[in-house]
Amino acid sequence: MELGGRPVSYGVFSTAGGPPRLGARLGDRVVDLSAAGIFRATTLNPLMAAGPAVWREVFDQLADVDLEKHSHPVEGVRMHRPFDVADYADFYASVHHASNVGRIFRPHGAPLHENWRHLPIGYHGRAGTIVVSGTDVRRPAGPLGPGEFGPTRKLDFEAEVGFVVGVPSDGPVPIDAFADHVFGVCLVNDWSARDVQRWEATPLGPFLGKSFATSIGAWVVPLHALDLARVPAPAQDPVPSAYLRAAKPWALDLALEVRINGHLVSSPRFADMYWTADQQLAHLTVNGATLRTGDLFASGTVSGPAPDQRGCLLELTWDGRDPLTLPDGTTRTYLEDGDTVTVSATAPGGLSLGEVTGTIREAHS
C-alpha cells in the first residue's frame, strides 16, 4: 500500500520542545497527524484500538495532506516508543533457529523437542522493559552457573519481527480473524544473555536472560501495507490442529539485515519461518486468554538454512566456537560494551520496515 509511490508507516515523534504526537512516515517526511487534523494522540494506542475501518480512513486522508504545512524532515525529529505495550509474548518459530539452538544446548539429544512441530512454542516476556530503537542497553548481570554471579559474558541479539494488537478480544481469535485485530508490524531485537539463559531456563523457560531489555523499531507498518509481501507458507508436517489452519496464511516475504557496528553479519528471510503470525495469535488466545490494545507478540529469532542467515550470535559463532571477524580486525563471539546492533528489513516493492538499533553499555558496577 503506497501513497503517491511512497510507503506508509506510523510512529510517535516530537520536535524541539514539543510534546509527543502521532506521525505518519512518507519517505523522508513525517506527517504530523495532529496538525493535519487527522488523528490526535500521544501514542498509537487510540488509533490501533479504533479498528480497521478507521485505519483505512486515516490512510486515505494522508493522500490530501499539505506536506509543506504539516510535515517535518524525518532526520529532524525525535522518535519515541510508538505504543504503550500491554503484554509481550515471544515465539520460537524458525525451524532453523530452534534446531541450531537444540544442537548447541543439547548436543546429545534430538535438535527439536517433541512438541515443536505440533504447536507454536512461546513464552511470556516483560512488557515494562521494552524500549524504542536508539535506546542504549545496559549489560545485564545474573546467575551464570552454580555459585557464579556477574555481568553476562554472552550478550546476544535476536533479530525478530513483532506484531502489534490493535483491537482487543474477549476470547479466542479465530485464525482467519487475524487482520481484524492486528494493527501492524515492527522490528524487534530480543536481547539475550546466553549464559544466564542456559543456567536458568530449565524447566520453565527464559527469565532474567531475556527480561532486562527488548528493543522495538520506532515505526509500525500497518498490516494492510504488507499485502504485496504475502507468500505461500512453508509446508507443515504434521498437519497442525484445526485452530492453526488458515484459509490464507500470513507468511511474509521480508528481507532482514543484521549489522554489528555497521558491518553486515546476517541476512535472514522472514518467509522461511515455520509458524506464521496468524497461527501465533490463534494459539495465544485459543485457551480464552483475552487481548488488549498494545499487546505485542514477536516471531522468535529469524534464521534461515544458510550460515549467513542466522539471526543471533549464538548460531553465527556456534556459541563462541567460530568467532566472527569484523572489518576493523577485531573478533566477536558475543557482544562487547560499545557495540551497536542494527536490524533492518524491507518488503517487496521497496517498502522499508525501518530499523531497530541499540548500543551496549557497561554493566552496573
* Chain length of the chain: 365
User: Are the C-beta atoms of residues 294 and 278 closer than 8 Å to each other?
Assistant: no
User: Are the C-beta atoms of residues 171 and 285 closer than 8 Å to each other?
Assistant: yes
The CB-of-301 to Ca ion minimum distance in angstroms stands at: 5
What are the Cα distances from residue 334, in Å, to 3, 51, 130, 191, 325? 41, 42, 22, 11, 12
The pair phi, psi for residue 39, each rounded to 5°, is -160, 130
**Position of cell 505440533?**
118
The CB-of-36 to Ca ion minimum distance in angstroms stands at: 37
Q: Which is nearer to Ca ion, 87 or 190 (CB)?
A: 190
Q: Which is nearer to Ca ion, 204 or 235 (CB)?
A: 204
CA-CA-CA-CA dihedral for 352, 356, 359, 360, to nearest 10: -140
CA distance 300 to 92: 4
Q: Which is nearer to Ca ion, 87 or 90 (CB)?
A: 90
Check residue 315 for interaction with Ca ion (CB under 5 A): no
CA distance 320 to 76: 40
CA distance 263 to 342: 9
Check residue 200 for interaction with Ca ion (CB under 5 A): no
Q: Give the interface segment with Ca ion, choosing from 8-16, 43-51, 155-163, 345-353 (CB under 5 A).
A: 155-163
CA distance 199 to 202: 7
Check residue 355 for interaction with Ca ion (CB under 5 A): no
Q: Which is nearer to Ca ion, 12 or 185 (CB)?
A: 185
CA distance 38 to 332: 47
Which residue number places its CB atom closest to Ca ion? 190
Q: Which is nearer to Ca ion, 158 or 195 (CB)?
A: 158
C-alpha Rg value of the chain to the nearest Å: 20
User: Are the C-beta atoms of residues 40 and 33 closer than 8 Å to each other?
Assistant: yes
Q: Give the interface segment with Ca ion, choosing from 45-53, 89-97, 171-179, 329-337 (CB under 5 A).
A: 89-97
From residue 174 to residue 193, what is the string marking binding to Ca ion with x (rule CB under 5 A)? ----------------x---
Check residue 158 for interaction with Ca ion (CB under 5 A): yes
The CB-of-181 to Ca ion minimum distance in angstroms stands at: 22
Q: Which is nearer to Ca ion, 13 or 88 (CB)?
A: 88
The CB-of-300 to Ca ion minimum distance in angstroms stands at: 5
Size of site (CB under 5 A) for Ca ion: 3
The CB-of-302 to Ca ion minimum distance in angstroms stands at: 10
- Write out the catalytic residue numbers: 97
Check residue 90 for interaction with Ca ion (CB under 5 A): yes
Residue 18: CB atoms within 10 Å: 12
The pair phi, psi for residue 150, each rounded to 5°, is 165, 180
Binding site for Ca ion (CB under 5 A): 90, 158, 190
